[in-house]
Each structure stands twice: as C-alpha cells, then as structure tokens.
Chains A and B, each alone.
Chain A
C-alpha cells in the first residue's frame, strides 16, 4: 500500500473480517518491532567506505522456478482482490490455474521501515529472505537498488512490461524500470470532515496549517516524503529537484504550525477513524484510504491541493538470492494484463499502473471508472509529483530533521 507508517498485522487479522471489508480503514499503530536493538557492528552493504556511486550488484541464486512451481510474495495487508464469500483471492487462483504455480501470498508487509528492518540483516549477510517478490514504496525501492539488495528484472520474461503507464516509466530511482514494476499508485492530498470544520472545505496546505478553525485538529503523515513534499509544493518548490534549504524551510513551516498548536499529531494510516468521527478535522491522507472511508461516511471531503500533490507507487521488486525469480516475473507479467489489474483496482480502489485498465473498468464498474481518485484524468496527473530520490547522506539528514519534528 501506500507509504503507511503503521499497520499491524495481528490487529488487522482480528478486525479484518466483518468490521473492515477492505483494506485500510483503521490501521494498527505500531512500527511494533523495535525488535531489540540487535546487531553488533552493523555491516553496511559496501563496508570499507565504498562510495555510493559504485552501486553494488545483488547476487542471484540458482533459479529453481522450473522445478519448484511456487512463488513467495509478501504484500501489504488487504491490498489485493478478495472474494467476500470465500475470502480467497480470485486473481491469484486464476494465475495458479493458468500456470500451475502456487502463490504463497503473505500479508506481512506492514510498513516500509519495519519490513526493511526485518529483511536487511538477511540481505546484508547474503542470505535468502525466503521471498521471491514484495511491493516496496518508491523511496524504499531506491534504497534497495542503491544497496544492491534487489535484482534486475529479466524483461524478456515480462512482455507486458510495455503496458506500464507512460508517466511511471521514467522514474528517477529506477530509470527505464529495470528493477521494479509498480503494483498500485496513489496520491497524498488533504482529507477533511465537514462536520468538524464547521462545513468549511479544506483545499490548500496553507489552510490546513494556519486556519484557526482547524486548530489542534490537524494530523500530518509520518511519511516524510508525503508530508514534507506537500508542504514544499505549497511553498512553490519542485519536489523532483530541491535543495537542502528548500527541505529545511518546509520543516520550519511545519514546526511553526506544530508549535502554534495547529497540529495534533503525525500518523500512519490510522488517521481514518478520528477523521470519520470528527476528532480530526482535516489531515494529509492517501486516496485509496479516503475512497474507502467515503463508502461509510460520504460527507468526508478530499482535495488535491492546487499547488500539487505527491504521487507514490508500491512496486514489485525481486530481492537478491530469490529462489523463484522466473516465476515471480511470470506473476508480474500476469498482473500487467489490463483485465487482471482492473479486477484488483476495482477492489482496492488505488490507481492502476497498467494502461488499458480504464476501458475495462468502465465496462465492469462505471462508478469506479468515474472516480477521479481511482482513474485520474490527465489534468489531475499533471498536478501529481514524485519526490526525488535521496542520497544516503540526505536520507539520514532529512529523516533526522523530520524525526525531530514528529518525535519532538
């Protein structure tokens, strides 16, 4: 899913059936694994101080795809089509039927950082993670590529590679999409509850950060790239090309609002419940979540700020030493058939990365096809921007500054 901070699997497993029909209404809090501060002398990917310019290459394992007809796929909770009766995933069943490959689908990707903390020690020690593919958010993909933890895709195995939306091909962190293929995309924008804003619409970032009517009832995202990105955009900066000073100016802007008591807190995607109840009047939010929230509470409003919004994707990657790389590529290829992707999008309500999905949605579910948050038009897309990739030094510096803001 989106760059959600916190989703706790155990929590979701408890609530999922019945209470939450689809992904993400109330997320667990967590980042639960402060999994003991282990790690003596933490090894980097290129110890000895190799420069970031010489990107290490991920090791490939001997591919057992031909003999072992399985794929191990880790994904975010409730991020795929579900048959409400059988609780099975029809698209996966079809895949298995067609190719004879069994998919071990595990919803254990709750949080980019947490997942990274879980697999990094294995990857750093050149061990198999037991997974053939998973879906990481853009910036995490950038990190994984930079650290040589993911393998290049064999594009020959993915003829549907050509179906990728043009806007998603040229990304800075993976030019030409050699390592990653988007699974779903979404925007970060502003959601509000008119009941709590006194009927007021909240349309701009400025209003969110300064309108006294919202004082103490605003939440921002713990996801740095969305929160700082939206604010930088509102300050007229280009988030695909900015300087330290731009970033820090945005941090100052948020700090000002925080010190003024405008901001109640920083959340993962657990903003949904307080927003629905009105405890939160307005917040930064992700499109897919809001579409779901609106199903229960149609009065909720959503704005993509005129100054621009952030666009993110969660992307298939194949980790180093994956045992069934060819099978995983077959799976990616399968989901890049518009017919297949349309069914997934119809269920999860995020934005499809596959060209041709729209036409099929118009046929099978016109409501979804006409929702600009799910099938955005060209104008909307032109307002959406992707946060530029960060160097390792920048990432440390920025996340430190952002952390001081959120945890300070």
Chain B
C-alpha cells in the first residue's frame, strides 16, 4: 500500500489547511454578534460587502507585497550569488548573517527601522549628519514625495517605509532559496558558456538566471505570500494611507468582533493568493526546470 505513506502528509494538510479553510469559510457565512452568538445563514452578500468596503486595502496589500518581492529579488540575488561563490568559512559566516535577524523578534526588527528612519534623531539622519550629507536625507524624502511614495517628504511613516520594512523582513526568505539553487549551479557550465562566446551578461541571462529559476520561484513565493498578509510593517512604519488587508482583518477580528467579515476577508485573501500563485507557477513553468 504505497498510498499509506501519504497518510501523515494528508492528515497534516487536512488538519492544518483544509479544516481551518472550511472553518473560515463557514464562519464567513454566519450572522450575529458576540453577545447572542453567530448562526450560519449562508450570507454570501458579506463577500460583496467585504470587497466593496475593503478592496483598496486588498489591492494595496498585493501591490506592496509585489513591490517588496521585486525589491527583495533585486537585493537578494546579487547577495545570494556572492555567498554561493564564496568558499568554506566565509560562506558559513555570510549565511549565518543572513539568518541572524531571525534571532530577534519580528516586532523589534521592524521597530528598529523606526529608530533608523526617524527624521529627528534617527540613526540614518545622524550618520548622514556626521558625514555632512544631511541634504541626502532630505533629497531622498523629496524624491519619495515626488514619486508619491511619501505624503509629505517624510521617509518614515510613508508607503515607501512600509514596502522597505516588508522587503527587509522577508529578504532572508528570498536569499536562502536563491542561494540554494545558485550554490548547486555547476561552475563548469559557466565556463562552457564563456567558452561559447557568451559575455558575462549573456552567461547570466542564458545560463545562470534560467538555472536559478527554481530558487527565484520559491523565493518570490516565500516572500510574497507572507508579505501580502502582513500588518505589522504597515502599522509601525506606515500612515493612515498605507493600511493593508492584514490590519483590517486584525481589527475586524479583535476589535470590532465582526468574525464573519474578518473571515470573509481572510478567505478572499487566501483565494487571491492561491490564484496568483497558480498563475505565477504556471508561467514560470517550474515543472520544466531541472
């Protein structure tokens, strides 16, 4: 019975994925309040209401998470490449440095950026001050404002700060899978490419990049999915215009105690992410990759 071997995995999936999903779905279709209890009424209109009221936060979450994912990829790829190219001790030290942020709580790491980015007495502005480069700080703020990434030229409490926080917090999830696939990359293939008239750019484009695609796909998924549901970064680093869907769900569930609405929003987020991931994985064609 080879299928028996699947049992633990299936059980896990049923307990931790299917069951909560069904619970969420069924809660979303209940009506009532916390005093009198909630009764299942099959109120599908809640989905319309939820989408109608909170589509901007939903879209914003996907846009922020998407941008943070792209930034993570741009930052993480060269870093993963560099680490993979190191040998022995240096490599291990660098890998430990990548995961070192996990030794502190997510919350503290995010709050640290408040201290770094603060315009008054923040670490960044102080360091720039010592270097007599304070104008850089202001210039950056102005650029952000010009790009509509900051409402008033402030660096902290802006959409940019939220995206940056997401990027920072989820970067290790990008780097590690990238590192794994780049580390596996056979150096002799790169030599073969050079030998076959491929410039360094061509070598990257036609050999390194396609061969690292499995890492890129898992890295982007591992970054995008949690980032889309995150609410700490936008709460700590954002302003009233950067609210993400996670914050809405948190507030509906904990504060408003509107469990059906919170569940409906969670379910919508889940379905949206599943749909995006499916399309993405199809496009990336991971089954074609070695």
Contact = CB atoms under 8 A, between A and B. Distances in A.
Within the complex, are A and B direct neighbours (CB within 8 Å)?
yes
Interface of A: 8, 10-11, 14-15, 26, 28-34, 36-50, 52, 111, 113-114, 117, 120, 146-147, 195-196, 215-216, 222, 224, 258, 261, 263-266, 270, 273-274, 277-279, 392-393, 395-396, 399-400, 403-404, 406-408
A277 B152 contact: no
Contacts of A31: 250-251, 254-255
Contacts of A263: 239-240
A11 B106 CA distance: 9
A202 B104 CA distance: 37
Contact of B120 (A114, A195, A261, A406): A195
A50 B255 CA distance: 23
A216 B33 contact: no
A78 to B, nearest CB: 17
A337 to B, nearest CB: 36
A42 B27 contact: yes
A43 B57 contact: no
A37 B262 contact: yes
Given A31-B250, A266-B240, A404-B53, A279 B34 contact: no
A222 B151 CA distance: 21
Nearest to B117: A279
B208 to A, nearest CB: 40
Contacts of A399: 255-257
Interface size class of B (residues with CB under 8 A): 35 or more
A42 B20 contact: no
A224 B249 CA distance: 17
A196 B33 contact: no
Contacts of A266: 240
Given A396-B33, A396-B257, A403-B248, 20 more contacts: A14-B108, A29-B111, A34-B246, A34-B253, A37-B262, A40-B26, A41-B27, A42-B30, A44-B37, A45-B37, A195-B120, A216-B152, A222-B255, A270-B111, A279-B122, A279-B154, A403-B252, A404-B53, A407-B247, A408-B243
A130 B240 CA distance: 39
B257 A46 contact: no
A33 B257 CA distance: 14
B263 interface: yes
For the complex of A and B, 8 pairs with smallest distance between CB atoms: A44-B37, A278-B120, A47-B37, A392-B35, A113-B254, A216-B152, A42-B38, A44-B36
Contact of A40 (B23, B35, B246): B23
B54 to A, nearest CB: 8
Contacts of B220: none
Q: Which residue among A29, A114, A392 has the maximum number of chain B CB atoms within 10 Å of its CB?
A: A29
A264 B240 contact: yes
14 contacts: A10-B105, A30-B107, A32-B107, A38-B20, A39-B23, A41-B26, A42-B32, A113-B255, A114-B254, A264-B239, A265-B235, A279-B156, A403-B256, A407-B243
A44 B120 contact: no
Q: Which residue among A31, A261, A266 has the maximum number of chain B CB atoms within 10 Å of its CB?
A: A31
Given A36-B20, A37-B259, A277-B121, A42 B107 contact: no
Contacts, number: 175
Contacts of B36: 44-47, 49-50, 392
Contacts of A392: 33-36
Contacts of A30: 107, 232
Contacts of B69: none
Interface string B104-138: 11011011001100111110000000000000000
Given A146-B35, A400-B256, A277 B118 contact: yes
Contacts of B258: 396, 400
A69 B248 CA distance: 44
Nearest to A146: B35
Contact of B256 (A14, A264, A396): A396
B33 A278 contact: no
Interface in B170-199: none
Interface of B: 20, 23-24, 26-27, 30, 32-40, 53, 57, 104-105, 107-108, 110-111, 114-115, 118-122, 151-152, 154, 156-157, 231-232, 235-236, 238-240, 243, 246-259, 262-263, 266
B233 to A, nearest CB: 10
A224 B24 CA distance: 27
A33 B232 CA distance: 12
Given A38-B23, A408-B57, A29 B37 contact: no
B267 to A, nearest CB: 9
Contacts of A277: 118, 120-122
Nearest to B261: A400
A33 B105 CA distance: 14
B149 to A, nearest CB: 14
B256 A29 contact: no
Contacts of B157: 264-265, 279
B255 A37 contact: no
Nearest to A147: B35
A173 to B, nearest CB: 14
A270 B114 CA distance: 11
Contacts of B122: 277, 279
A270 B238 CA distance: 13
A34 B254 contact: yes
Given A31-B250, A41-B30, A265-B157, A278 B243 contact: no
Nearest to A36: B20
Contacts of B156: 279
B59 to A, nearest CB: 13
Contacts of A114: 254
A37 B263 contact: yes
Given A36-B20, A42-B34, A392-B36, A117 B254 contact: yes
A407 B248 contact: yes
Contacts of B34: 42, 44, 120, 147, 392
